[in-house]
Amino acid sequence: MSMGTAAAIEVTGTMARVGSSIGLGIAIAKAEHRIRREQAVDSVTELAIRLQEARQAQRGALRRAAQAEARLGAAQAEIAALRQALAQERHMTAALREALGI
């Protein structure tokens, strides 16, 4: 085998190794990109789930707030009725004392 043939075979082998290394590098880069993309999708999915849970919690809080406001309104109406009844009782007591001369 001549030196030219040996050099050509060596160059061809080196080029094959370089090409193989480049191919491997591209495959690794694609795999890393795919992994980063999957992680981003997982992060977005997790955020979407957390947002949905937060919205459900907010709806529950709003429902409880509306119930509390309704109870407050009922309590305020009862207080007003009791105050009116107390005023009437005081008026009747005063009238009774006056009638009895006390």
Cα 43 to Cα 37: distance, rounded to the nearest angstrom: 10
Give me the percent of the chain exceeding a pLDDT of 90.
52
What pLDDT is stored for residue 21 in this prediction?
A: 75
Q: DSSP labels for 40-80?
A: HHHHHHHHHHHHHHHHHHHHHHHHHHHHHHHHHHHHHHHHH
77-89 pLDDT per residue, tens: 999 999 999 999 9
What pLDDT is stored for residue 42 in this prediction?
A: 84
**Cα-trace Rg, the chain:** 43
Over the chain, what is the mean pLDDT?
A: 86
Task: Give domain limits for the chain.
Answer: 1-71
The model's pTM: 0.50
Residue 89 or residue 14, greater confidence? 89
Q: Tokens for 12?
A: 């061809």
